[in-house]
Structure 1
C-alpha cells in the first residue's frame, strides 16, 4: 500500500517538481527544433552521410589477392559507413519525435494535429524496426559464431 502522500509511486512533492511548465516546454521545444535544423544542415544529415561511399576499385585494381589489406579496409569502411548512416537516420528520427512529444506535452497529445500524431507513431515504428533489425543481426552473428551459446 502506498503512503497517503504518494501519487503514482512518487511523492506529491516530487510529482509537483516533475510538472512541466509551459515556459520550460516551449524553451525545450525551441532547442529541439534548433538541433534538428542544425542536423539537417550539417555533414551529419542522413542523406549526406549515406552519399559518402567508396568503390572497391578505389583501393585496388580489383585483384583482392594482390592487396588483401585494401579489401579489409574497404570492408571495414563499409561496415562503419553503414552504422553511421543508420545512427544518423535514427538520431534524426529521435529528435523529430522528441519535438512532437514536447508539443504533445505542452498542448496535450490529443490536441495535436492528426498528421503530427500519425508521424509520431510512424517514427516510433521506424525506430523499433531499426532496433529489431540490429537485434536480429546480432543474434544471427552470435548463432554463427556460437557466442550466444
Structure 2
C-alpha cells in the first residue's frame, strides 16, 4: 500500500518508486525506438530473408561443380541461421519492451493482448532454442557413431 492508502511505505520509498517508474518509462521508450530502428534496418528478419542467392548464381554452364554446390549449401545454412537470429533478436527486443512496461504498471495491469504476446514470444524463443540444442546434440552424437577407421 502507498502512504496515501494508509500503508507502511515511507515517503522516501514512495519517491523512489516514482523515480523507478520514470526510469522504466524512459527505458521502455528507448527499447521501443531500438525495435523501430531495427525493423527498418538492413538487419531486420524481413530484409535479411530477402537476400537469397540461387544455386544458379554460383555456377555457370552445364555439368557438376561440386565446390559451387558446397559453397551454395554453406551460404544457405548461414543465411538461414542469420535470418533466424535476426527474427529472435526482434522478438527479444519486443518482449523487453513489454516487460519494461509491465514492470512499470504491474504485469497484471498489462492489457491482455500484451500479456499474451509476451508469453507467445517467450514460448516461441524457448521452442526454437530447444530445437537448436536438440539439433546440435543430434549432430554431436551422430558424429561420434560414425566410423573413423575407413575401409581396410
Asked if Structure 1 and Structure 2 have the same fold, meaning a TM-score greater than 0.5 normalized by the shorter chain, the answer is yes
SS at match of 2:63: coil
- How far apart, in 1, do the equivalents of 2:131 and 2:117 lie? 21
How large is the Cα RMSD of the aligned pairs? 1.8
Alignment map for 1:1-149 (pairs within 5 Å): 21-61=20-60, 63-64=63-64, 67-146=65-144
| SS of corresponding position for 1:21 | helix
Equivalent-residue separation in structure 1 for 2:84 and 2:63 (angstroms): 30
Deviation for aligned residue 1:68: 2.1
Query: Aligned partners of 1:140 and 1:86: how far apart in 2?
Result: 19
Flag the structure with larger Rg: 2
The Cα of 1:73 is off from its aligned counterpart by 1.3
Distance 2:82 2:129 in 1: 14
Q: Which runs of 5+ in 1 are unaligned?
A: 1-18
Count of residues in correspondence between the two structures: 128
Higher normalized helix content (fraction of residues) = 2
Give the TM-score, by structure 1 length.
0.80
